[in-house]
Amino acid sequence: MLNELNAPTTLLQSYLTWLINLSPGRVATFTLFIFFALFMIVEFYSPREKRIIKQVRQSYRANIGLFVVNSVVMTLLSVPSLLFLAEQYSDKGLLNAVSNPRWKAVLSFLAIDLLLYLLHKACHTFDWLWMFHKVHHNDPYLNVSTAFRLHFLEILFINIMKAMLIVILGIEGTLLLANEMIITVFIMLHHTNISFRGEQFLGRVMITPYLHCVHHSTRRNEHDRNYGAVLSIWDRLFGTLAELKPVEIGLKGSSPQDLINLVKYGFTMTDNSSAQPVSLDIMIAEAAYYKAEKRCFYPGNELRDWLEAKKEIIRLVYGEEQLKNNVMLKWQDLVGFMNNALNGGVKNLRENHR
């Protein structure tokens, strides 16, 4: 009996000894592999959305292929460089002004997570970045492997930005590795095709699958939302959070789903605005209606409701830059509104005269 009890204990001790003797990089890799396998098993047995096995296999095949290619490229070009910079500048950056190691860890994590939010938003704003980022969005079957569906040039760009942050802040190699592991686990999680109890409550603080699912919508006014990697507070702070269920996932139109053509696809320019199938006039009209409803349809505010609605919709769909160039549109709206009012008045007079 004693020998039977000692056997599992000895096995556990051997495993812990082996784990401790591994380098931090190998521990991180092994941990990420465990989480990947766990998420894959959960989404297989309890998926949020039902998928055809053939479709899921196709997605996994392409995504894992991209992961292998990217791993080779990044191993040769980026990862050692980031760790080298971390070792060289760990005693020169802004974080050296922070003496408490816990606060240093928290601040380094927040800085990297905010950087990823800003870079993600930039990938949806600038066409030359969207050219590479659309490879990630053209997966029509969202699953844990979609987290690794990235063009290698997008990863290279992100790592260059991370390198600048490492130099400025002086992030230590150990903290960098820990942050990368935590962020990768959460990115895998919010791509996993699962739902769980308390997900919406957790979404108040961090990006969960139901929040990130919106980001993969075919509609631009929906996929230009929820940019966060780990924390959802950045989306709440900058007004880019959306909580809804998308009708369809992926990109409009046909796009390649195999490794070689996905890499080529990243070098083709497409119009990101074409992903907006909803008529702006309909969106503005609905928004104006809700504004009028809030005013209890009190007469005299029709023009004000319409202009405010148009301003909000243009900011939502196209951003601030388009809004700044919208003076002429406002003037056209005013003229059109006055014409409609005048025509309506003339029509009423004719009817009364009859």
- The mean per-residue pLDDT over the stretch 251-278 comes to 76
Which of the two residues, 339 and 128, has the higher pLDDT score? 128
When pLDDT is cut at 50, 70 and 90, the band that residue 69 belongs to is confident
Is residue 67, in this structure, part of any structural domain at all?
yes
Confidence (pLDDT) at 236: 94
Is residue 241, in this structure, part of any structural domain at all?
yes
Confidence (pLDDT) at 16: 47
When pLDDT is cut at 50, 70 and 90, the band that residue 237 belongs to is very high
Confidence (pLDDT) at 232: 96
Confidence (pLDDT) at 75: 54
Same domain, 28 and 104: yes
DSSP-assigned beta bridge partners for residue 206: 231
Note whether 204 and 231 are within 8 A (CB). Answer: no
Is residue 1, in this structure, part of any structural domain at all?
no
Same domain, 62 and 204: yes
Same domain, 225 and 296: no
Which of the two residues, 292 and 335, has the higher pLDDT score? 292
Cα angle, residue 215 at apex, residues 210 and 216 outer, rounded to 5°: 95
Confidence (pLDDT) at 320: 53
Phi then psi dihedrals of residue 166, to 5 deg:
-60, -45
Q: What is the 3-state secondary structure (H, E, C) of the chain?
A: CHHHHHHHHHHHHHHHHHHHHCCHHHHHHHHHHHHHHHHHHHHHHCCCCCCCHHHHHHHHHHHHHHHHHHHHHHHHHCHHHHHHHHHHHCCCCHHHHCCCHHHHHHHHHHHHHHHHHHHHHHHHHCHHHHHHHHHHHCCCCCCHHHHHCCCHHHHHHHHHHHHHHHHHHCCCHHHHHHHHHHHHHHHHHHHCCCCCCCHHHHCCCECCHHHHHHHCECCHHHHCCCCCCCECHHHHHHCCCCCCCCCCECCCCCCCCCHHHHHHHCCCCCCHHHHCCCCHHHHHHHHHHHHHHHCCCCCCCHHHHHHHHHHHHHHHHHCHHHHHCCHHHHHHHHHHHHHHHHHHHHHHHHHHHC
- Among candidate residues 224, 249, 273, the one where a domain is terminated: 273
Query: Where in the sequence is the domain holding 203, given as residue range(s)?
Result: 20-273
Confidence (pLDDT) at 345: 47
Note whether 337 and 303 are within 8 A (CB). Answer: yes
* pLDDT over 80 (residue 1): no
Same domain, 101 and 222: yes
Is residue 90, in this structure, part of any structural domain at all?
yes
Confidence (pLDDT) at 317: 63
Percent of the chain at pLDDT > 90 equals 33
Is residue 13, in this structure, part of any structural domain at all?
no
Same domain, 304 and 218: no
- The mean per-residue pLDDT over the stretch 28-43 comes to 78
Confidence (pLDDT) at 136: 94
Same domain, 334 and 301: yes
Query: What whole-number distance in Å separates Cα of residue 136 and Cα of residue 227?
Result: 13
* pLDDT over 70 (residue 11): no
Same domain, 294 and 260: no
Which of the two residues, 293 and 336, has the higher pLDDT score? 293
- The mean per-residue pLDDT over the stretch 77-95 comes to 79
Longest dimension (CA), the chain: 107
Burial class for 44, CB neighbours closer than 10 Å (0-12, 13-18, 19+): middle
- The mean per-residue pLDDT over the stretch 195-204 comes to 91
Same domain, 175 and 210: yes
Confidence (pLDDT) at 285: 75
Confidence (pLDDT) at 53: 73
Query: What whole-number distance in Å separates Cα of residue 134 and Cα of residue 138?
Result: 6
Is residue 15, in this structure, part of any structural domain at all?
no
pTM exceeding the 0.75 threshold for the entire prediction: no
Q: What is the mean pLDDT of the chain?
A: 78
Is residue 6, in this structure, part of any structural domain at all?
no
Nearest to 59 by CA among 169, 127, 155, 148: 148
Note whether 63 and 149 are within 8 A (CB). Answer: yes
Q: What is the pLDDT of residues 150-160, one digit of tens each?
A: 998 998 899 99
Q: What is the pLDDT of residues 94-145, one digit of tens each?
A: 999 999 999 999 999 999 999 999 999 999 999 999 999 999 999 988 988 8
Same domain, 243 and 315: no
Confidence (pLDDT) at 353: 47
Residue 211, CA distances (Å) to 113, 116, 207, 242 in order? 17, 17, 6, 7
Is residue 4, in this structure, part of any structural domain at all?
no
Percent of the chain at pLDDT > 70 equals 70
Residues in the chain: 354
How far is C-alpha 205 from the geometric centre of its chain's CA atoms?
15
- Among candidate residues 257, 273, 289, the one where a domain is terminated: 273
Same domain, 124 and 248: yes
Confidence (pLDDT) at 312: 74
Same domain, 268 and 288: no
What tokens appear for 27 in the block?
Answer: 């521990």
- Among candidate residues 273, 306, 334, the one where a domain is terminated: 273
Confidence (pLDDT) at 86: 85
Structurally, the chain folds into a number of domains equal to 2
Confidence (pLDDT) at 298: 65
* pLDDT over 60 (residue 61): yes
- The mean per-residue pLDDT over the stretch 223-240 comes to 95
Same domain, 265 and 298: no
Confidence (pLDDT) at 349: 43
